[in-house]
Amino acid sequence: MNFDIEQLKKKIIYRSNYRGIKEMDKLLGSFTKKYINELSEKDLIDLENFLSIDDNNLYNFYNGLKTNVIFEDNKISTLFKNFKYNKK
**Backbone CA torsion sign across 86, 38, 82, 65:** positive
Sign of the alpha-carbon dihedral angle for 38, 22, 64, 15: negative
Please, which pLDDT band fits residue 86 given cuts at 50, 70 and 90? confident
Per domain, the residue ranges of the chain are 5-81
CA distance 15 to 28: 9
pLDDT tens for each residue of 40-54: 999 999 999 999 999
pLDDT in tens, 5-42: 999 999 999 999 999 899 999 999 999 999 999 999 99
- Residue 58: what pLDDT? 96
Contact 14, 41 (CB under 8 A): no
76 CB contacts (<8 Å, ≥6 apart)?
39, 43, 46, 47, 50
Measured distance CA(20)–CA(37) in Å, rounded: 24
Q: Does domain 5-81 have CATH number 3.40.50.10860?
A: no
pTM of the model: 0.91
Please determine, for residue 63, whether its predicted confidence score (pLDDT) is greater than 50.
Answer: yes
Q: Is the predicted pLDDT of residue 73 greater than 70, yes or no?
A: yes
